[in-house]
Amino acid sequence: MVQHKMWAIGGGKGGVGKSVLTLALSIWLAKLGRKVTVVDADLGGANLHILLGIRYPSVTLQDFISRKVDKLSDVLIDTPHENLKLICGADDMLSLANPKYTQKMRLLNQLNNLPTDFVILDLGAGTSYNVLDFFLYATGKLAVFTPQATSLQNVYGFIKSSLLRRLSREFSQNEVLSALIIRFASGSGEEKISSMSELKHIVREFSEENYLRLCQITDNFDVKIVANMVKKDKDREASKVVRTVTEKYLDIHLTDLGFVQYDTEIERSVNRMVPFLLDDSKSQAALSTYQIAYQILKEAAAKSSGDEHTRPGSPYAALSPAAGSPALP
């Protein structure tokens, strides 16, 4: 059985609504009766507690890291929402801003072992290794963007960086492949590799085994996308653009979980530092975040019953046993 409870919300660009959506989805999952722990994993720019109306958190992740408290559960704090606990980041996380890979994994493993149905990570902006490693660790990966051209570029860059981080860890012992991955990452110069299919083609010439492994990784690289702050009908095409470009250059299929409208109520509640409320049935954003949360629930149920995602028609699919699609409970 695949454990599928940790979701990471990333997207590269700052200010696109990662924290707002993290919270909205966490609140809806809690309202749907699931035990949820939302974690401010924005090391250095923690603000999730403010969005929940908590000005001065009594404990933060820093207390756990510095061993002021023993157990991770000691830094869980209550929120105004039933079923929803928060783990705060801290303003002064400089010591944490560059934790070692093993430290990060230890923290993530412990978060994953919390006795809760969902652990939702709010990631910081950018594509630092911290952000990417948190994103890669989570079995549920959600990338948020806005319809602006710069945001589309950023989200593509974020997905590409996380895929390449995944590949460079996978092939870290293989010098030739590591060099090829760097050529693909740099994306410029005479030696550049401009797409994943080009990379796969080159790899196949000297190692069928590594080629198949590459295909397996891209097939299973399961990222969901959500467009936020959608204002007009045309904005909805943004997701299609992101999906098309990602498929063309990275050979991965994104799943579009929908979009969230621009909603002045969200902006107002953030500005007034009042806890986020989603019971305004008139709000389109409330409804769309509810629908996304519901899809996350369905996905978690499907994954837990062993529905591994393998793209039909891929070389890897041809070699692997047919993936079943068990019905939802």
Ligand X SMILES: Nc1ncnc2c1ncn2[C@@H]1O[C@H](COP(=O)(O)OP(=O)(O)OP(=O)(O)O)[C@@H](O)[C@H]1O
Output 159 or 302, the one with its CB closest to ligand X: 159
* Sequence-ordered list of residues with C-beta below 8 angstroms from that of 59, at least 6 positions apart, any chain: 69, 74, 75, 77, 88
CA atoms within 13 A on the CB side of 75: 26
- Strand order of the β-sheet with 84-87 is 77-78, 84-87, 36-41, 118-123, 6-10, 140-145, 223-230, 255-261
16 contacts ligand X (rule: CB under 6 A): yes
Q: What angle do CA 121, 277, 60 make, to 5 degrees?
A: 40
Please state the closest distance from residue 94 (CB atom) to ligand X, in A. Answer: 17
Residues 85, 83, 51, 126: is their CA dihedral positive or negative?
A: positive
Question: At its nearest, how many Å lie between ligand X and the CB of residue 150?
Answer: 13
The DSSP string of 33-65 is T--EEEEEE-TT---HHHHTT-SS-S--HHHHH
**In this chain, which stretch among 71-79, 92-100, 109-117, 259-267 interacts with ligand X, using CB under 6 A?**
259-267
Both tokens of residue 88? 């705060």
- Rounded to a whole number of angstroms, the minimum distance from the CB of residue 47 to Mg ion is 6
- Cβ proximity to ligand X: between 50 and 217 the closer is 50
Q: Is 299 in the site for ligand X (CB under 6 A)?
A: no
Q: How far is the CB of 18 from ligand X (least distance, A)?
A: 3
Euclidean distance between CA atoms 196 and 219, whole angstroms = 12
Q: Is 75 in the site for ligand X (CB under 6 A)?
A: no
Kindly state whether residue 146 participates in binding Mg ion, applying the rule CB under 5 A: no
Element spanning 293, H or E: helix 284-304
Q: Do residues 276 and 51 make contact, with C-beta atoms less than 8 angstroms apart?
A: yes
When asked if residue 226 is in the footprint of ligand X (CB under 6 A), the reply is no
Minimum CB separation of residue 144 from ligand X in Å reads 7
- Which stretch, 132-140, 186-194, 212-220, 263-271, contacts ligand X (CB under 6 A)? 263-271
Say how far apart CA 71 and CA 294 lie, in whole Å. Answer: 31
Task: Compute the least distance from the CB of residue 14 to ligand X, in Å.
Answer: 4
Q: Which is nearer to ligand X, 198 or 265 (CB)?
A: 265
The answer to whether 125 contacts ligand X (rule: CB under 6 A) is yes
263 is a contact residue toward ligand X (CB under 6 A):
yes
Sign of the alpha-carbon dihedral angle for 171, 173, 174, 179:
positive
Q: From the list 5, 19, 104, 160, which residue makes contact with ligand X (rule: CB under 6 A)?
A: 19
Identify the residue among 9, 19, 134, 292 touching Mg ion (CB under 5 A): 19
Residues in the site for ligand X, rule: CB under 6 A?
14-20, 42, 45, 125, 228-229, 260, 262-263, 266-267, 270, 285
